[in-house]
Chains A and B, each alone.
Chain A
């Protein structure tokens, strides 16, 4: 079943973090997370399998930063095809029994004109390329995620739609401000959701927000949008203990907010930074 029909028929359990899981498996600071796709795909398979075992109904490829603009910072831009091919293969090999594979598409890290230097056409082209590779590797759907500039998210949708008909989930990161929930670029949940849907997103929502409670606030602000809504919050805000970052939200604490997410209308629940297969397992028990 495709993700849209699935989310219309039931509440769907997503997966949790990739980046913070990779750190546990030796991802060094300053290192490109997608390098694992080339050098240590067995780690990806292990993480994907752990999520599927915990009950995730889809797993998300390690391709968050696999766009030409982002990869160029690590000198890996010419490896983009292999990076994406290996990411999708690792996910496919790790799961079975109808678990879907979502292709992650994160921001380029460039700021758009006029406030930044990136020409919209270049950014759209970078997303078109990612979309083409992921589509070619036969993912089930796209997850455009962690967007803070709705204009960049729209370019991602345009770029992907120009090469693929697969469904697109689009999520943005909002945080608490004196004026309510906003992205760092000032974009609001309801207006952003409307724009993303208008541009062809099949499912919209939020990810990489500070814990499940803030996700509830975001989804409430988003209001009735007419398509299924997804929430993939972080395991709270990292606190520093002995010089190391620790996410203070335990699986149980995070799962305790699941009824509120459901009451707010969320149809797909997963996790972002700091969440683990244990978090997903705890959420599964609440569904």
Chain B
């Protein structure tokens, strides 16, 4: 098996101690940074998303794969910068104000990163103003918001309203997810996208950024 396939398998299987060295090996073997990213790390995380959606794997496997992906990314990042490989787009993510649950948000961030997006992670307990400021400052195309508590979901609407107020709606797309969040809620408050799971969040972000 060639090194890239080995790297892909290592990420897929969550072998986080192997992913870094295999990334190095692939680069040393002459693979360019872009293809290590696309055919190794992103290809693996694509498959992880697919398996997660199908219920073949669950949160621990996704977290381990993401950990492996990050190990590879740490090695790869300087090379990507050197080669001028651009990210797929920038996404601001966070768990909304009043909510300290960040597992779902972290999963989404990892899957997005695994799909080649640049992530601006605001953590948890994030107010509407901070989402919008971060998107403006970083030139992000997407804001992704997560909530686990039904009582915090209104912050999502505040963010949508603030974007409209600043005439940024359309330029910065919004997407939401989390256990209590539903498609009908998303429609009601006027967000641009709703994701049932972390893999769907990637599909939506790809659609929003036109790739």
Q: Any chain A CB within 8 A of the CB of B168?
A: no
B97 touches A30 (CB 8 A): yes
Instruction: Tell which of B61, B125, B153 has the most Cβ of chain A within 10 Å.
Output: B153
Q: Any chain B CB within 8 A of the CB of A23?
A: yes
Interface string of B181-210 (1 = CB under 8 A from A): 010110011000000000000000000000
Instruction: Please measure, in the bound complex, the distance between the C-alpha atom of A177 and the C-alpha atom of B61, giving whole angstroms.
Output: 16
B182 touches A239 (CB 8 A): yes
B61 touches A186 (CB 8 A): yes
| A30 contact set on B, CB distance < 8 A | 97-100, 125, 152
| B67 contact set on A, CB distance < 8 A | 114-115
Minimal beta-carbon separation of A173 from chain B (angstroms): 10
Instruction: Tell which of A30, A183, A185, A245 has the most Cβ of chain B within 10 Å.
Output: A30
B180 touches A111 (CB 8 A): no
B180 touches A238 (CB 8 A): yes
Q: Any chain A CB within 8 A of the CB of B63?
A: yes
| B100 contact set on A, CB distance < 8 A | 30, 73, 109
Instruction: Please measure, in the bound complex, the distance between the C-alpha atom of A28 and the C-alpha atom of B67, giving whole angstroms.
Output: 35
| B16 contact set on A, CB distance < 8 A | 114
> CB within 8 Å of B: which of A173-197?
177-179, 182-186
Q: Any chain A CB within 8 A of the CB of B54?
A: yes
Q: Is the interface of A mostly helix, strand, loop or mixed?
A: loop
> CB within 8 Å of A: which of B100-148?
100-101, 103, 125
B63 touches A111 (CB 8 A): yes
A177 touches B59 (CB 8 A): no
> CB within 8 Å of B: which of A238-257?
238-240, 243-245
| B149 contact set on A, CB distance < 8 A | 29
B151 touches A115 (CB 8 A): no
B152 touches A185 (CB 8 A): no
Q: Any chain B CB within 8 A of the CB of A98?
A: no
When C-beta atoms are compared, the residue in chain B nearest to A243 turns out to be B154
Q: Which of B14, B59, B152, B185 contacts A186 (CB 8 A)?
A: B59
Q: Any chain B CB within 8 A of the CB of A75?
A: no
Instruction: Please measure, in the bound complex, the distance between the C-alpha atom of A239 and the C-alpha atom of B149, giving whole angstroms.
Output: 13
A29 touches B151 (CB 8 A): yes
With A30-B99, A239-B184, A243-B157 already in contact, the answer to whether A184 and B152 are too (CB < 8 A) is no
Q: Any chain A CB within 8 A of the CB of B64?
A: yes
| A115 contact set on B, CB distance < 8 A | 14, 59-60, 63-64, 67
When C-beta atoms are compared, the residue in chain A nearest to B61 turns out to be A186
Which residues of chain B have a CB within 8 Å of any CB of chain A? 14, 16, 54-61, 63-64, 67, 97-101, 103, 125, 149-154, 157, 180, 182, 184-185, 188-189
Given contacts A115-B63, A240-B182, list 20 more A-B pairs with CB under 8 A: A29-B98, A29-B99, A30-B99, A30-B152, A109-B100, A109-B101, A114-B16, A114-B64, A115-B14, A115-B59, A115-B67, A178-B55, A182-B58, A185-B59, A186-B57, A186-B59, A239-B182, A243-B157, A243-B189, A245-B180
